[in-house]
Amino acid sequence: MSSPTLTPRALYEEVAEQLRQRIFRRELEPGSWIDELKIAEEFGISRTPLREALKVLATEGLITMKLRRGAYVTEMSEKDLRDVYHLLALLESDAAGIVAARATPQQLQELEALHAELEAAVGERERFFAINERFHMRLLELADNRWRSQVVADLRKVMKLNRQNSLLKQGRIEDSLREHRALLTALQAHDVAASVQAMQTHFAQGLEAAA
Same domain for 123 and 200: yes
Residue 28, pLDDT > 80, answer yes
Same domain for 34 and 90: no
* 180 within domain boundaries: yes
* 3 within domain boundaries: no
More confident residue, 203 or 162: 203
What single letter denotes the amino acid at residue 127?
A: R
Same domain for 179 and 122: yes
pLDDT recorded at residue 208: 87
Domain CATH code at residue 168: 1.20.120.530
User: What is the number of domains present in the chain?
Assistant: 2
List, for residues 133-171, the tens digit of each pLDDT value.
999 999 999 999 999 999 999 899 888 887 555 556 667
List, for residues 39-91, the tens digit of each pLDDT value.
999 999 998 899 999 999 999 889 999 988 899 999 888 899 999 999 999 99
Query: Domain containing 116: what range?
Result: 78-210
Asked which of 73, 103, 120 is the last residue of a domain, the reply is 73
Residue 8, pLDDT > 50, answer no
Using alpha carbons, list the distances in angstroms from residue 88 to 65, 85, 156, 203.
25, 5, 8, 8
Same domain for 124 and 189: yes
Residue 40 near residue 46 (C-beta atoms within 8 A): yes
Same domain for 109 and 26: no
Same domain for 193 and 155: yes
User: Of how many residues is the chain composed?
Assistant: 211
